[in-house]
Amino acid sequence: MEKINLKFEKFTAAGGKFSYTISLNKAGGFSFSSGFCKKHGIEEYPYVLLWYEKKAKAVGFSFLKEATKGAFKLSFTKSKTASVRPNSFIRAHEIKYQLFAGKYDPKRYKTEGGEEIFYIVLEKQK
């Protein structure tokens, strides 16, 4: 029998949630799933800058290590999720969050300046 060197890792998170989503809730807040946060190391970025593309109804998120003008502070939970409730952003763009509340699969976009933005396109939920 051929001898090979394998490095198995024990899986101890039975029952864990590993979804990769960004959610808009019925109170107008955005939540970032534990899967999304883990994959992108969001716990190292306590601030989020929001973007909006009106025609497509797309909301963008860029994560920051330091506060900057217009950035919102993220809240983190013990279950490794993050959230933000950007009331001023929601009101400024007249987003009818009750109609769009739900889970979304985020996509990536790079601006011309090279900034990475994760975004979701809001759709009316059933």
**Residue 42 to residues 4, 8, 60: CA-CA distances in angstroms?**
36, 26, 15
Residue 57: domain span: 22-121
Q: Which pLDDT belongs to residue 8? A: 84
Give the residue with greater pLDDT, 24 vs 80: 24
Does residue 16 form part of some domain?
Answer: no
Number of domains in the chain: 1
**Residue 78 to residues 1, 70, 75, 82, 93: CA-CA distances in angstroms?**
46, 26, 10, 10, 31
Q: Which pLDDT belongs to residue 3? A: 80
Does residue 7 form part of some domain?
Answer: no
Does residue 28 form part of some domain?
Answer: yes
Q: What is the mean pLDDT of residues 3-17?
A: 75
Tell me the average pLDDT of the chain. 92
With left for phi above 0 and alpha for psi between -120 and 50, is residue 69 left, alpha or beta? beta
Q: Is 90 exposed, middle or buried (0-12, 13-18, 19+ CB in 10 A)?
A: buried
Does residue 6 form part of some domain?
Answer: no
